């Protein structure tokens, strides 16, 4: 069976040469991303061999880091453009095995919209991945509307991936745990914080009326829906039109029409079932979160999924093929 995964990460160390020295010096060299750098930098070596071993047909690649957000509106567009050119060059040797999401200069929204269009029309990129907030500003801010407008025009999705929480949130919620100075990163990020923050991000778009403003926009989120399936019924009541937000449609109608979720990094049956019960099979796509999760973990999970044949094919590749126009 054809298998497509679409939250699979890359990071190219040669891009550090285009960053100010202070940004490079401040990078965390001991965190998970730094430890995974050889795998993140690889395209056609161990990555492709692992895909072959585990039956993965296509990976849709996206840049793991948020370095571009550390650059101002004058520097960021050139950096992002160079990154996308490099991605296109590296995947061109295996066009049937790799696709990509654009890396956007979010500190320059108009340039980001142009870069999205350039990468889609010139390289056939499948949309863009945006990693959380941009210097504390979320995507419901009207300044980011050009990106959504362009994505809708091009009929490509925006994948909202978790990012590091804003500093005030880090200080208030995730620091000084048990009196120990500094943030607890597992609480702030992969253990809890960035999943709840991505859910809030999408709910902000709903409440701000962004989905109504761009009714053909497609948004993808990962990690089995970033807690939203569990909160589905309660949030549906809380975000009815007229309940204080600017949305003209409720959560259920909006999300089933415009929000899609992937399994990235979640490989157990209970969250899958609640995601199916809420978002529905037509809004779900299989993903792994490579290299932070292994292809073996994903393949084992997929082999255990009990779905009718047609639904399993939608889950494994059909929905991704349709939404990203992969075939």
Model confidence pLDDT, tens digit, residues 284-315: 999 999 999 999 999 999 999 999 999 999 99
In a domain, 176, yes or no: no
Contacts with 248 (C-beta within 8 Å, 6 or more apart), sequence order: 209, 212, 241
d(CA 245, CA 233): 17
- Domains identified in the chain, total number: 1
Give the pTM.
0.97
In a domain, 271, yes or no: yes
What backbone phi and psi angles, to 5 degrees, belong to 100?
Answer: -150, 150
Range of the domain at 138: 4-161+192-322
In a domain, 172, yes or no: no
- What tens digit of pLDDT does each residue of 194-253 get? 999 999 999 999 999 999 999 999 999 999 999 999 999 999 999 999 999 999 999 999
pLDDT at 26: 81
In a domain, 205, yes or no: yes
In a domain, 174, yes or no: no
d(CA 252, CA 168): 31
pLDDT at 224: 97
Do residues 106 and 129 touch, judged by C-beta distance below 8 A? no
Q: What is the mean pLDDT of the chain?
A: 95
What backbone phi and psi angles, to 5 degrees, belong to 142?
Answer: -60, -20
pLDDT at 35: 86
Residue ranges in the chain modelled with pLDDT below 70 = none
pLDDT at 247: 97
* CATH label of the domain that carries residue 144: 3.20.20.140
In a domain, 177, yes or no: no
pLDDT at 25: 84
In a domain, 183, yes or no: no
d(CA 299, CA 255): 28
pLDDT at 29: 74
pLDDT at 126: 98
pLDDT at 326: 97
Do residues 40 and 291 touch, judged by C-beta distance below 8 A? yes
In a domain, 182, yes or no: no
């Amino acid at each position: 069976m054809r298998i497509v995964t679409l939250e699979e990460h890359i990071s190219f160390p040669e891009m550090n040469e285009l960053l100010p020295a202070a940004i490079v010096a401040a990078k965390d060299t001991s965190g998970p991303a730094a430890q995974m750098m050889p795998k993140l930098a690889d395209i056609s070596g161990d990555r492709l061999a692992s895909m072959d071993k585990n039956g993965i047909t296509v990976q849709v690649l996206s840049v793991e880091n948020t370095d571009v957000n550390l650059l101002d509106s004058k520097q960021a567009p050139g950096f992002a453009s160079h990154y996308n050119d490099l991605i296109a060059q590296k995947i061109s040797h295996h066009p049937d095995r790799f696709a990509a999401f654009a890396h956007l200069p979010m500190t320059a929204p108009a340039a980001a919209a142009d870069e999205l269009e350039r990468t889609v029309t010139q390289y056939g990129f499948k949309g863009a991945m945006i990693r959380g907030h941009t210097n504390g500003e979320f995507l419901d801010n009207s300044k980011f509307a050009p990106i959504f407008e362009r994505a809708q025009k091009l009929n490509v999705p925006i994948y909202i991936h978790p990012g590091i929480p804003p500093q005030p949130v880090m200080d208030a919620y995730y620091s000084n745990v048990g009196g120990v100075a500094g943030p607890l990163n597992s609480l702030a990020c992969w253990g809890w914080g960035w999943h709840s923050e991505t859910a809030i991000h999408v709910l902000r778009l709903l409440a701000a009326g962004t989905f109504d403003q761009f009714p053909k926009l497609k948004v993808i989120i990962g990690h089995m829906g970033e807690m939203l399936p569990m909160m589905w019924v309660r949030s549906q009541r809380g975000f009815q039109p007229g309940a204080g937000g600017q949305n003209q449609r409720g959560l259920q109608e909006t999300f089933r029409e415009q929000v899609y979720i992937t399994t990235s990094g979640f490989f157990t049956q209970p969250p899958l079932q609640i995601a199916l019960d809420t978002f529905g099979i037509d809004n779900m796509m299989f993903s792994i979160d490579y290299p932070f999760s292994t292809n073996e973990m994903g393949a084992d999970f997929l082999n255990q999924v009990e779905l009718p044949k047609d639904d399993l094919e939608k889950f494994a590749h059909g929905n991704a093929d349709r939404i990203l126009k992969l075939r």
